[in-house]
């Protein structure tokens, strides 16, 4: 059994990270490559209070690495996302994953230890088995691409013409939070908001306000004087750039929440309206592709983890709206269960957050009325 040592990782450790990536075959993502090596130069630009990085060594050789990013105010972050977990195959089965993960978590503020999330690709059978045993499975996120055929577009356009799409403002936060709070996955503690790259964060009024303030929140509204919010579309904080067939392409990924009161046809109109509102060219001149990350969805059969699929209403709506599922696999999202004192703190915070959110929504409603009156 080798002797392992742990230390905080720094930006200058890129050669160690490249060594770990190479040991894994450099095929962390479909098609080859490792997003950690691509993201490494950007990671260190983040406020140092919002990320923790840990390396494990066997002598001089890197045996494992993990990174955890935090979300919320730097002085009091509210949730975190575990990513970039790498273990050299030569040291697998020796507890390296637990050592490096536990050491990294120990450096986090106590507030973020209450809500640590991570994800595993459904095709990574080994990590899926480990995660299913150790963590709380929140559901599968399934990617859809907006690629309407001429026939589909003609049928969906009629429903889409009855709604409007616009970027949300501060006055819309109350309505948007109400839509989130009404979603069954939110009441079950499974709904997450998009973070950086393809990470997720805990839903909160502050997290939603951040999205709105950064211009990464879009609403689809119904017609009439009330103009209800029918769908909320939130974009991940960072677009992904890559090359396809030698040409640059920018991929924007969004999550979507539709009102549970909408039937499949009405939901299709909202989804199609959003899809056709998106540009096809990025500011850089590269092609722009819009993807929806739908979910989280639970398995249709509890004893069959692979049976994760889109629910029937949304599946019909996506098909009618011209969205295609480009891959059979999905991203499985988990939450690390709190333990001991952290569990008691989780219950205490849940009660206080509910009270604060209720009061904040009331204040937002009043502010929206004042803004509308001032504009008359």
Q: What is the CATH number of the domain that holds 23?
A: 3.40.630.30
Distance, in Å, from the CA atom of 328 to the CA atom of 370, rounded to the nearest integer, reads: 48
At 100-156, the pLDDT tens digits run 999 999 999 988 988 999 999 888 888 899 999 999 999 999 999 998 877 776 777
Task: Supply the pLDDT for residue 27.
Answer: 52
Q: Are residues 319 and 175 in the same domain?
A: yes
Percent of the chain with pLDDT over 70: 85
As a residue count, the chain comes to 376
Distance, in Å, from the CA atom of 295 to the CA atom of 255, rounded to the nearest integer, reads: 8
Per the structure, how many domains does the chain have?
2
Distance, in Å, from the CA atom of 1 to the CA atom of 185, rounded to the nearest integer, reads: 44
Q: Are residues 166 and 255 in the same domain?
A: yes
Query: How far is Cα of residue 352 from the mean position of the Cα atoms in its chain?
Result: 24
Q: Is 280 exposed, middle or buried (0-12, 13-18, 19+ CB in 10 A)?
A: exposed
Q: Are residues 24 and 158 in the same domain?
A: no
Instruction: State the DSSP code for 89.
Output: G
Task: Supply the pLDDT for residue 366.
Answer: 36
Q: Is residue 12 part of a domain?
A: yes
pLDDT surpasses 50 at 206: yes
CB half-sphere exposure, 208, CA atoms < 13 A? 28
pLDDT surpasses 80 at 24: no
Location of structure tokens 């919010």: 229
Q: In this structure, are residues 135 and 118 in contact, taking their beta carbons and an 8 Å threshold?
A: yes
Q: Are residues 327 and 229 in the same domain?
A: yes
Q: Are residues 167 and 227 in the same domain?
A: yes
Distance, in Å, from the CA atom of 174 to the CA atom of 170, rounded to the nearest integer, reads: 8
203, two tokens = 């839903």
Task: Supply the pLDDT for residue 328.
Answer: 86
Q: Is residue 135 part of a domain?
A: no
Q: Name the more confident of 368 and 121.
A: 121
229: left (phi over 0), alpha (psi -120 to 50) or beta: beta
Distance, in Å, from the CA atom of 289 to the CA atom of 193, rounded to the nearest integer, reads: 20
219, two tokens = 């609403």
Q: Are residues 9 and 145 in the same domain?
A: no
Name the pLDDT band for 300 (thresholds 50, 70, 90): confident
Q: Is 334 exposed, middle or buried (0-12, 13-18, 19+ CB in 10 A)?
A: buried
Percent of the chain with pLDDT over 90: 66
At 240-258, the pLDDT tens digits run 778 888 899 999 999 999 9
Backbone angles phi, psi at 125, to 5 degrees: -60, -40
User: 56 - beta bridge partners?
Assistant: 6, 64
Q: Are residues 86 and 228 in the same domain?
A: no
Query: How far is Cα of residue 260 from the mean position of the Cα atoms in its chain?
Result: 21
Q: Are residues 269 and 155 in the same domain?
A: yes
Task: Supply the pLDDT for residue 340.
Answer: 53
User: Can you tell me whether residue 173 is helix, strand or coil?
Assistant: helix
Distance, in Å, from the CA atom of 229 to the CA atom of 117, rounded to the nearest integer, reads: 29
pLDDT surpasses 70 at 2: yes
Task: Supply the pLDDT for residue 346.
Answer: 44
Task: Supply the pLDDT for residue 153.
Answer: 67
Task: Supply the pLDDT for residue 22.
Answer: 87
Mean pLDDT for the chain? 86
Task: Supply the pLDDT for residue 198.
Answer: 87
Instruction: State the DSSP code for 350.
Output: H
Distance, in Å, from the CA atom of 181 to the CA atom of 314, rounded to the nearest integer, reads: 18
Which residues have a Cβ under 8 Å from the Cβ of 329 and sit 6 or more positions away?
A: 121, 122, 123
Angle (CA) 332 337 340, round 5°: 175
pTM of the model: 0.85
Residue ranges of alpha helices (H) inside 135-290 are 150-160, 173-181, 184-187, 205-213, 264-277
* Structural domain span for residue 305: 141-336
Q: Are residues 189 and 318 in the same domain?
A: yes
Q: At what angle do helices 173-181 and 341-374 cross, to 10 degrees?
A: 140
CB half-sphere exposure, 175, CA atoms < 13 A? 22
Q: Is residue 283 part of a domain?
A: yes
pLDDT surpasses 50 at 347: no
């Amino acid at each position: 059994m080798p002797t392992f040592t742990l230390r905080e990782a720094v930006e200058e450790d890129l050669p160690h990270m490249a060594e770990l990536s190479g040991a894994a075959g450099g095929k962390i993502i479909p098609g080859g490559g490792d997003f950690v090596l691509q993201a490494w130069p950007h990671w260190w630009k983040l406020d140092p209070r919002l990320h923790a990085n840990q390396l494990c060594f066997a002598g001089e050789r890197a045996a494992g690495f993990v990174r955890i990013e935090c979300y919320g105010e730097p002085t009091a972050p509210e949730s975190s996302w575990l990513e970039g977990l790498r273990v050299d195959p030569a040291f697998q089965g020796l507890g390296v994953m637990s050592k490096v993960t536990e050491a990294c978590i120990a450096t986090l503020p106590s507030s973020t230890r209450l809500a640590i999330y991570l994800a595993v690709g459904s095709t990574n059978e080994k990590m899926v088995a480990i995660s299913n045993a150790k963590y709380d499975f929140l559901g599968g996120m399934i990617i859809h691409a907006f690629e309407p055929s001429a026939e589909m577009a003609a049928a969906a356009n009629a429903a889409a013409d009855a709604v409007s799409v616009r970027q949300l403002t501060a006055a819309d936060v109350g309505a948007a939070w109400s839509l989130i709070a009404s979603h069954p996955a939110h009441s079950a503690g499974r709904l997450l908001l998009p973070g950086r790259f393809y990470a997720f964060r805990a839903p909160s009024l502050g997290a939603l306000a951040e999205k709105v303030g950064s211009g990464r929140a879009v609403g689809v509204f119904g017609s009439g004087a009330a103009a209800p919010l029918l769908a909320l579309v939130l974009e991940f904080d960072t677009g992904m750039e890559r090359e396809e067939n030698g040409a640059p392409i920018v991929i924007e990924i969004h999550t979507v929440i539709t009102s549970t009161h909408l039937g499949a046809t009405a939901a299709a109109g909202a989804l199609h309206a959003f899809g056709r509102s998106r540009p096809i060219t990025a500011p850089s001149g590269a092609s722009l592709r819009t993807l929806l990350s739908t979910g989280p969805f639970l398995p249709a059969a509890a004893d069959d983890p692979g049976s994760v699929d889109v629910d029937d209403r949304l599946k019909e709506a996506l098909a009618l709206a011209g969205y295609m599922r480009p891959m059979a696999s999905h991203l499985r999202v988990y939450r690390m269960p709190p333990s001991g004192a952290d569990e008691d703190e989780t219950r205490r915070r849940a009660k206080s957050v509910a009270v604060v959110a209720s009061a904040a929504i009331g204040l937002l409603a009043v502010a929206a009325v004042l803004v509308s009156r001032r504009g008359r």
